[in-house]
Amino acid sequence: MNVLSQRVLRLPAYAVGQIAERKRQLIAEGVDVIDLGAGDANLAPPAVAVESLHRAAQERAMSRYAFQIGSLEFRDAVARFMERRFDVSVDQLSEILPLIGSKEGLAHLPFAVLDPGDVCVVPEPGYPAYLGGARLAGADIEIFPLRPEADFLVELEDLSRERLAGTKLVFLNYPNNPTAAVAPRDYLERTVAICRKHGIVLAYDNPYSELTFDGYRAPSILEIPGAREVAVEFHSLSKSFGMTGWRLGWAVGNSDVIKGLSKVKSYVDAGAFLAVQRAGAAVLDRAEELIAPVREQFRVGRDALVTALRDVGIDCALPRATMYLWVRLPEGMPSGEFARDLLEREGLAVLAGSVFGEGGEGFVRLSFIVEPARLREAAVRMARALDRFGVAKGRA
């Protein structure tokens, strides 16, 4: 008996979970696995978060429903962070919404702004939650391929006039996962202008805003004049503060969109644990201090992995943000097949570009989330795998 909807059946498998299970099996078999696939560094959460959570969890009031209003102290801390970091002033009640991690907010947003048949522009390669949320909402999905020659930017004016006129929502993500691309300010300005002209909601996924290097400063979309008319930005405590499992983030921006997303969420969740929200507030009020050593750790990892790959003849760019390298494979090499061989025969987990959609084919994503010695070993293992495919390493 087929009990599943066509929307669910049309969703691709969520590959990251499958890789995690196979990794567990290999480790149980005694394989030395280096995991560069997950975007989940082995960082300790900030002590202030743990201490705050411990104290808050002992308060009876913290165990009650948070609902969508959540914690006012968390909302206030978000507003202070946005003001300090981006020079953006927001209303704590109407322009901020606590999330159970930014992923659920991104996936639920299409239900708030799209009717079945409305066009949603989804970048590819891209975070699977964009496609999943849009497909489950019954949207007409317009896949936009991210091309190296176009700096991995979504150029809305490249759409046909008809598709652009029908577009209601576009997902953007810079600094980008998986490509590590960043967006110039003039690009953001013209994209906001297009969205305002055509009445398009702009969902700006910004969880890597603090993981930047070499003097680069990632902006908020809300810094762009007019963005608040159309944009909602998504942030997370996961990547920057080693709090992936705590599931806490926020949406900020256009009050009408925030109101709609809050209404959707009121039917599917009762808000993030209030004690976690108190801990999140404590972290955000010390964000600059806490992120500095994390950023330096990732910079060291980035430099170590790029150098190690280049030393074995694998070319790759030096990213200015995120925790990822987006490495091109030799012409004609299937990324899924290569990633499976790499895991099974070398004990090295990476993500095939095809995990992020057909537009990611021909690449693999490597996370520089382990210590430099392990990153150097990972480069050696990857070179061995390329040799087994009979490829001259210098062509990578």
Of 233, 245, 178, give the one whose Cα is nearest residue 209. 233
Distance CA 396, CA 386 (A): 9
Beta strand spans in 186-296 (E): 201-205, 231-236, 249-253
Residue 177 has pLDDT above 70, yes or no: yes
8 A C-beta contact, residue 169 and residue 120: yes
Pairing relationship of beta strands 167-173 and 201-205 according to DSSP bridges: parallel
8 A C-beta contact, residue 112 and residue 261: yes
The mean of the pLDDT values for the chain is 94
- DSSP letter assigned to residue 10: T
Please give the average per-residue pLDDT across 68-81, as a whole number.
97
Please give the average per-residue pLDDT across 360-377, as a whole number.
96
Q: How confident is the model at residue 112 (pLDDT cuts 50, 70, 90)?
A: very high
Give pLDDT tens digits for 93-104: 999 999 999 999
Residues 6 or more apart from 98 whose CB is under 8 A from it? 66, 68, 70, 71, 74, 75, 78, 248, 249, 250, 271, 272, 277
pLDDT for the residue 394: 43
pLDDT for the residue 395: 43
Residue with tokens 């004690």, as numbered in its chain: 275
What is the maximal distance between C-alpha atoms in the chain?
63
pLDDT for the residue 392: 41
* Segment among 5-9, 175-179, 339-343 with least mean pLDDT: 5-9
Residue 390 has pLDDT above 80, yes or no: no
The secondary element (H helix, E strand) that includes residue 164 is helix 161-166
Distance CA 207, CA 227 (A): 18
Residue 228 has pLDDT above 80, yes or no: yes
Please give the average per-residue pLDDT across 359-384, as a whole number.
96
pLDDT for the residue 6: 87
Higher pLDDT, 375 or 1: 375
Of 197, 238, 56, 205, give the one whose Cα is nearest residue 127. 205
Measured distance between the N- and C-terminal CA atoms of the chain, rounded to whole angstroms = 47
Domains and CATH numbers, the chain: 6-44+289-395 (3.90.1150.10), 47-287 (3.40.640.10)
pLDDT for the residue 393: 39
The share of the chain scoring above pLDDT 70, in percent, equals 98
What DSSP assignment string belongs to 183-211?
A: --HHHHHHHHHHHHHHT-EEEEE-TTTT-
pLDDT for the residue 38: 85
- DSSP letter assigned to residue 318: -
For the chain, the residue count is 396
Q: How confident is the model at residue 233 (pLDDT cuts 50, 70, 90)?
A: very high
8 A C-beta contact, residue 110 and residue 136: yes
Distance CA 235, CA 211 (A): 12
Q: How confident is the model at residue 39 (pLDDT cuts 50, 70, 90)?
A: confident
Residue with tokens 């308060």, as numbered in its chain: 59
Higher pLDDT, 12 or 267: 267
**Structure token digits, residue 77:** 């801390």
Please state the separation of Cα 146 from the chain's center in Å.
15
Please give the average per-residue pLDDT across 136-161, as a whole number.
96
